[in-house]
Structure 1
Amino acid sequence: MKTSISRLLKTTLAAGIALVGATVANAGTMKLGMTTWVGYGPLFLARDLGYFKEKGLEVDLQIIEEASIYMAAVAAGELDGNASTIDEIMKYRSPDFCFKAVYALDDSHGGDGILAPAGIKDLAGIKGMEVGMNEGSVSQFWFNILLKQAGMTEADVKITNMTADDAAAAFMADRIPVAVTWEPHLTLAKQANKGQVLIDSSKTPGLIVDVVALNCSYIEKNAADVQALVDGLYKANEFIKANPEKAYEIMAKGVGGWLSKPADFASSAAGVNFYGKERNAEFFKDGAAGESGKLVTLGGEIWGSFKKLKMDVKYEDLVDTQFLAK
C-alpha cells in the first residue's frame, strides 16, 4: 500500500510539473518573419543569449526573403509579426489587417546606395538613364525621396523593375548604367573599381528604418510577451556596445545567409545604426509630430502617389509605443 501511494504521489506530481511546463511554453511564444538583413541581428542576439527566455518568452525567428509572403503569413495568423522597414509595412496596413510597430531596430546608414557610372557628379547626372530598381520596395521609396530632393521624378529616368541583387548584377555586367541596391553589392562594386557609389544612405539618416511590427490582436492578448521582446532587445543592444566582436559572431551565426561570416557581418554592420533604448525614445518622441511621425507621413505621400496604400495610414494606425518607456 505504501509503495502504491508513493507511486501515485510521484505520478501526480510529475503530471502537475508537466502541466505547468506546458502552460509556460504556450504562454510565452512569438513567431516573427523577416528577410536576411544585418539590422535584424539584435533579434537573434537576444534570442541566442537567452534574453527573451529569461523574461519567459520563446521567439521563433524565420527568414523569409519576400515581404509579401511573410506579411501574408502574419495576416493568416501563421506569424505574430515581422521585422521590416516602416515604409514597407505601410503598404499592407488595411482596415481588416491591423498591426503596429512596437520597437525600432535600426536605420540604414550606408547600407543602401545607388551605383552609377564614374564621373557622374550628382543625381541630375543620371537623367535619361536606365535604372535597375525593385519597384514597390524600400529601394523605390528611398530613390523617390532622393529624386524629390533633386527636383526630379521617375519620369526623368527609365525604370527597369528587378530585385536589388539583380540590379547590382546587371550593373556589374554593364547591362544597365544605374542600380539602386544595397550591401554587399556596394562594397563589391568598390572592390572591383566598377563605377561609383553615387550616394548611400549615410547621407539620408533616419529614412530607412526597420521596426518590429506585431499583429494588433497579439499585442492586446500578450502584453507581457511584447514587453519581454522590448526588454530583451534593449539588453541585446547594450551587449553590442560592450562586446561588438562577440556580438557580431553570434548575430552572424543566427542571421546566416550572406552574413554568416562574422567579418562580413561586421562589415555590413558599419552601414547601420542599431537602435537601443535611448534611440527608440528619441525616434518616437513627439509622436506624429516627431521623427517617426514625419517618416510615416513621407511614406504616405510616396506610396500614396503610386497607389500602393490600402488605406490612409495615420501614425496611430501604425505605431504603438506603450512598451518602450517601461
Structure 2
Amino acid sequence: MNRRAVLAGGLGALSSGLLGGAGLSGCHASSTPLRVALNPWIGYALLFLARELGHLRESTARLVEFPSNTASLLAMANHSVSAAALTLDELLLAREGGLDLRAALVFDESCGADVVMVHPSIQRVSALKGKRIAVESTAVGALMLSRLLEVAGLEATDLVKVPLTADQHVQAYTAGKVDGVITFEPMASRLRSAGAHQLLDSSRFPGLIVDVLAIGPEIGASGKAHLRELVRGYFLALAHLRAQPEDAARRLAPYQQLSATDVLEAFRGIRLPSAAENQRWLAGPEPQLLRSAQTVGRLMHGARLLRGAPSLEGLCVPDYLPEPT
C-alpha cells in the first residue's frame, strides 16, 4: 500500500551512479506494449480496474508492480519501463537527479488520506511541543511535517522527530514509543483502532500531495498511441467507479488486500480529477500542476530535500488526455 516508500538518501540515491546516464532515449521498441511501473497505492488502482474491465489490453500496456516508487524510478532509469506512477515530490527529486520526466496524467490529490494521528491526550496542535512524532524520511513526510509545524506555530526543534517507515508506525504507537504519527491509509485506520485520533489531515493543504503518471520525453509513435489508450482506459475505469462504486470496490479488493468497504473508504481520502479537471492540471498557460510544483519545490528546498528551486520546464504534458468537450 505504500507508494511513499523511502527514497533512501534523497538525492544521493538518484544522483549516485544508480541513475547514471539516465536519459530515456532507450525506451522499448515501438512494437512492444507500454510498460508502466506502479505499486498498489489506492490512487493508482484505477489502472488495475481498467485492465479488469477490459479497457486496457495486454497488447497495449503492461502494469509492472514494484514494491516502492524508488524501484519504479530505477526501472525508468534502466529503460525497463516507459512510464511510472509517482508522487509530485518524487518527480521533482527525479528531475533534479537527472531523469527528464514529465507528467502526462494526474491520478489523485490527497484530500485527507495523509494524516497526523496522535494520542487522545493531545487535543490541540500546540500541545505537540516536546512530543515524539514518527514520520517517514520521505519528501511527503517532510512536507506534512513542515505544514504541521506551521499550523502549530512550532519550530522543528520543538518536536522529537522519530524517523520510521510506514510499516513501523502502528507498532511504534501501540508500544508507546511515539506520541503521534504522520502517516496514511491503511495505517491511519489501524491507529484509530488502537485508540489514536486524527489531529490534522491533508485536506488542509490542497495541491500539496499529488500523484502523477510520469513519462520520459521520447516515446515512439506506437508508444504514444499506447499511452493515449492507457489514459482513455483509466478514465473509463474512473467513470465505472463513479457509476458503480460497489462493483469497482469488489473488483479492486484483491489488489488492495482490503475489504470492498475499506476500498471505498480509502478512496474517500483522495480526489480523483476527471479528464476535464486533468486539462486544468496540465494544460493552458498556467497549469495547476505547475503551481503545485512551485509550492512543493519551495517546501522541499526549505527542508533540504532539493538543492535549489526545481526546473519546471516541460513538466506538464497534456497531449495524451482526451480532447476537451
**Same fold, TM-score > 0.5, yes or no:** yes
Shift of 1:131: 1.2
Find 1:294's aligned residue among 275, 288, 291.
291
8 Å Cα contact 1:92/1:310 also seen in 2: no
Matched residue SS, 2:161: strand
Q: Which protein is bigger by CA-based radius of gyration?
A: 1
Give the aligned partner of residue 208 of structure 2.
207
Residue 219 and residue 134 in structure 1: after superposition, are their counterparts in 2 closer, same or farther (change >3 A)?
Answer: farther
Matched residue SS, 1:218: coil
Residue 174 and residue 290 in structure 1: after superposition, are their counterparts in 2 closer, same or farther (change >3 A)?
Answer: same
Q: Map 1:67-86 to 2 at 5 A.
A: 67-86=69-88
Give the aligned partner of residue 230 of structure 1.
231
Give the aligned partner of residue 317 of structure 2.
320
Structure-2 separation of matches of 1:310 and 1:212: 24
Residue 276 and residue 219 in structure 1: after superposition, are their counterparts in 2 closer, same or farther (change >3 A)?
Answer: farther
Deviations 1:8-66 (A, max 9, x none): xxxxxxxxxxxxxxxxx96251222223211111111112212133xx85322233222
8 Å Cα contact 1:219/1:226 also seen in 2: no
8 Å Cα contact 2:136/2:163 also seen in 1: yes
Residue 117 and residue 286 in structure 1: after superposition, are their counterparts in 2 closer, same or farther (change >3 A)?
Answer: farther
Shift of 1:221: 6.9
Residue 153 and residue 325 in structure 1: after superposition, are their counterparts in 2 closer, same or farther (change >3 A)?
Answer: farther
Could you tell which deviates more after superposition, 71-80 or 26-35?
26-35
Give the aligned partner of residue 277 of structure 2.
279
Structure-2 separation of matches of 1:252 and 1:59: 22
Q: Percent identity?
A: 25
Structure-2 separation of matches of 1:297 and 1:141: 13
Structure-1 separation of matches of 2:316 and 2:155: 29
Residue 312 and residue 225 in structure 1: after superposition, are their counterparts in 2 closer, same or farther (change >3 A)?
Answer: farther
Give the aligned partner of residue 112 of structure 1.
114
Q: Map 1:164-313 to 2 at 5 A.
A: 164-192=166-194, 194-218=195-219, 222-253=223-254, 255-256=255-256, 258-259=257-258, 261-284=259-282, 286-287=284-285, 289-309=286-306, 312-313=309-310
8 Å Cα contact 2:132/2:161 also seen in 1: yes
**Structure 1 unaligned regions, length at least 5:** 1-24
8 Å Cα contact 1:29/1:225 also seen in 2: yes
8 Å Cα contact 1:47/1:59 also seen in 2: no
Structure-2 separation of matches of 1:41 and 1:292: 21
Find 1:134's aligned residue among 123, 133, 136.
136
Shift of 1:281: 2.4
Give the aligned partner of residue 21 of structure 1.
none
Shift of 1:201: 2.1
Residue 219 and residue 268 in structure 1: after superposition, are their counterparts in 2 closer, same or farther (change >3 A)?
Answer: farther
Which residue identity does 1:51 align to in structure 2?
Answer: H
Matched residue SS, 2:218: helix
Q: CA RMSD in A?
A: 2.5
Which residue identity does 1:292 align to in structure 2?
Answer: L
**Structure 2 unaligned regions, length at least 5:** 1-28
Could you tell which deviates more after superposition, 130-139 or 38-47?
130-139
Which residue identity does 1:313 align to in structure 2?
Answer: P
How many residues of Structure 1 are paired with residues of Structure 2 in the alignment?
295
Shift of 1:311: 6.6
Shift of 1:100: 0.8
Find 1:35's aligned residue among 16, 35, 39.
39
Shift of 1:290: 4.6
Residue 319 and residue 197 in structure 1: after superposition, are their counterparts in 2 closer, same or farther (change >3 A)?
Answer: same
Residue 206 and residue 302 in structure 1: after superposition, are their counterparts in 2 closer, same or farther (change >3 A)?
Answer: closer
Which residue identity does 1:181 align to in structure 2?
Answer: T
Could you tell which deviates more after superposition, 156-165 or 90-99?
90-99
Shift >4 Å, 4+ stretches: none
Shift of 1:91: 0.8
Matched residue SS, 2:94: coil
Structure-2 separation of matches of 1:203 and 1:132: 20
Structure-2 separation of matches of 1:45 and 1:219: 26
Could you tell which deviates more after superposition, 140-149 or 112-121?
140-149
Which residue identity does 1:155 align to in structure 2?
Answer: T
Structure 1 residue 48 and structure 2 residue 52: aligned?
A: yes
Could you tell which deviates more after superposition, 310-319 or 223-232?
310-319
Which residue identity does 1:212 align to in structure 2?
Answer: L
Shift of 1:83: 0.9
Deviations 1:166-224 (A, max 9, x none): 123211221111111111222222233x1311112233333221111112223777222
